[in-house]
Amino acid sequence: MTTPPTSPAAGPQATGPAGAADGAREYTASGGDWEEISADAEANADERIVVNMGPQHPSTHGVLRLVLEIEGETVTEARGGIGFLHTGIEKNMEYRTWTQGVTYCTRMDYVAPLFQEVAYCLAVEKLLDITDDVPERASLIRVLMMELNRISSHLIALGTGGNELGATTMMTIAFTAREEILLIFEAITGLRMNHAYIRPGGVATDLPPGATQQVRESIPTIRDRIAQMEKLALKNPIFLGRLQGVGYLPLAGAMALGAAGPILRSAGHPFDLRKTQPYCGYETYDFEVPTHTDADSYARVVLRFKEMRESLKIVQQVLDRLEAQDRTGKQPVMVADKRIAWPAQLSVGSDGQGNSLDHIRKIMGTSMEALIHHFKLVTEGFRVPAGQVYQQIEHPKGVLGVHLVSDGGTRPYRAHFRDPSFNNLQTLGMMCEGGSIADVVVAVASIDPVMGGVDR
């Protein structure tokens, strides 16, 4: 909140930076209620203790600041302080073309980057009115990448959560399984994270030779690592004692606070956008939406294990369809409209980087007009009809929403994301108040926030 500028006629004349009375306006910026909290804490210093957990605390999942009011070891009030990782992603997207926007939003929740890419591209395709023109193979690849990314995101949640409770073996097993998925991502997109692989109209390039076989060979290893983690955790009396009944949030509270994903499903609500508002052809896949009724941290761990198994079922169905397409010949992975489609049938050079000389000769030798169009498409971008759209998908942490506004130009007029971690963090107070300080660590781990998505 910014107060209006001081008027020279109403009081002392404002001074400039050097202190001279030069008529410069003076602004006073303030925000939140931290000053009131500090003043109240100072006035009642003998009655209560206010401590900071974070933003450098190792168990606050990045740079989350928790302000805890405690009586002994009991937390009487918990408040979250965010903004330490703000990078201006949404504002920067207004100064880049629609395709370049993918390279920004993929860096929000860096643990699940492909979901931001898909949600953003689905929204752009709605504005362009080309949703039905996206090739089936591109949608299959999107589903494959998202479900593998859902598994890797849950592995991070369970592995780091276990490590924060002292179970380092949970983390090492989880990261071993995640490595299998990152190797797949690297083979397909060239990068382990922040891929910019999903593009408006399709994907950047088709799967490389042997990609489906690599995924099939990795599935048994991933499934085995998940089983190992379950054996370590779900029957362990220490693990049960730390998680059961901790971070309790009933269905009414989850609904009122806008929580989604495993938090909402742990309270018994089978809400999953892949079922209720299908996209990318999810209505054609056979999978279940696991739920629990205990509504505590343990229930969220159990759900994440079950959701990973359901994702593996979807991955296997996608592989069957992709391999069936491979037997019928090469399929497109980008819309046919050359006014929108970036080149998607690329070839890698002999050095493993860039494009092969044959591919460059094809682009350069087709026609001068084609080369000029390619240059203008990449540098200036395509125009999107004026309007606005809102697109939602089921992120590993809950509902991810994208609101895009176009003024008819080659760049977004406004881009805004509803990140699930941001909304889920609102539940922290209800989960933690009345518990111990040690339970705060458990509650935060069960929410699984990623601050890159929260702060944006």
The pLDDT score that the predictor gives to residue 10 is 42
Residue 291 has pLDDT above 60, yes or no: yes
Q: Is residue 244 part of a domain?
A: yes
* C-alpha span between 185 and 62 (Å, rounded): 24
At 146 the pLDDT is 94
Does the pLDDT at position 376 exceed 70?
yes
3-state secondary structure of 348: strand
Residue 115 lies in a domain: yes
The pLDDT score that the predictor gives to residue 153 is 93
374 has pLDDT over 80: no
Task: Please report the pLDDT score of residue 68 as a whole number.
Answer: 87
202: amino acid identity, one letter: G
Q: What was the pLDDT predicted at 304? A: 93
pLDDT of 12 over the 80 cut: no
User: Radius of gyration over alpha carbons of the chain, in Å?
Assistant: 25
Q: Examine residue 358 and state whether it is found in any structural domain, yes or no.
A: no
Question: Which of 77, 91, 80 has the alpha carbon at shortest distance from 57?
Answer: 80
With vertex at residue 416, the alpha carbon angle to CA 415 and CA 421, rounded to the nearest 5 degrees, is 145
Domain residues for the domain of 290 are 89-337+382-455
Query: How many C-alpha atoms does 315 have within 13 Å on its Cβ side?
Result: 27
Give percent of the chain with pLDDT exceeding 90: 42
For the packed helices 136-164 and 297-328, what is the interaxial angle rounded to 10 degrees? 150
Residue 371, domain member (yes or no): no
In this predicted structure, the answer to whether residue 6 has a pLDDT above a threshold of 50 is no
* Residue 226 CB neighbour total at 10 angstroms: 22
Asked if pLDDT for residue 232 goes beyond 70, the answer is: yes
The DSSP-derived string for 382-421 is: ----SEEEEEEEEETTEEEEEEEEE-SSSS-SEEEEE-HH
Is residue 402 pLDDT above 50, yes or no? yes
3-state helix, strand, coil in the chain (%, to 5): 50, 10, 40
Kindly indicate the confidence band of residue 4, based on its pLDDT and cuts at 50, 70 and 90.
very low
Q: Is the pLDDT of residue 33 over 80?
A: no
pLDDT higher than 80, residue 18: no
Query: pLDDT value at position 354?
Result: 61
Predicted confidence (pLDDT) at residue 57 exceeds the cutoff of 80: no
**Whole-number pLDDT of residue 77:** 86
Name the residue with higher pLDDT: 59 or 130: 130
Q: What is the mean pLDDT of residues 280-290?
A: 92
Which two structure tokens, joined as six digits, stand for 125?
């395709």
| Cα–Cα separations (whole angstroms), residue 35 to 274, 376, 445 | 43, 52, 29
Q: Is residue 79 part of a domain?
A: no
Range with lowest mean pLDDT among 13-27, 240-254, 346-360, 394-408: 13-27
- Give the chain's mean pLDDT: 85
Confidence bin at 356 (pLDDT 50/70/90) = low
How confident is the model at residue 13, as a pLDDT? Answer: 43
Position 182 scores a pLDDT of: 93
Write out pLDDT tens, residues 103-115: 999 999 889 999 9
Helix (H) or strand (E) holding 423: helix 420-424
In a domain, 152, yes or no: yes
Question: Tokens standing for 69?
Answer: 């009011």
pLDDT of residue 19: 46
- Under the banding of pLDDT at 50, 70 and 90, the label for residue 1 is very low
Across the range 352-357, mean pLDDT stands at 62
In angstroms, what CA-CA distances link 418 with 220, 320, 391, 400?
35, 33, 10, 6
Does residue 410 surpass a pLDDT of 50? Answer: yes
pLDDT number for residue 395? 94
Flag whether 281 is in a domain. Answer: yes
Mean pLDDT score, 407-423: 92
Place of tokens 């370590």: 232
Q: Residue 327: its pLDDT value, please?
A: 84
Least confident of 14-23, 285-294, 384-393: 14-23
The CATH number given to whatever domain includes residue 220 is 1.10.645.10
For the chain, report the end-to-end CA distance as a whole number of angstroms.
Answer: 20
Nearest to 99 by CA among 293, 352, 319, 384: 384
pLDDT level of residue 40 (50, 70, 90 thresholds): confident
Q: Domain total for the chain? A: 1
In a domain, 159, yes or no: yes
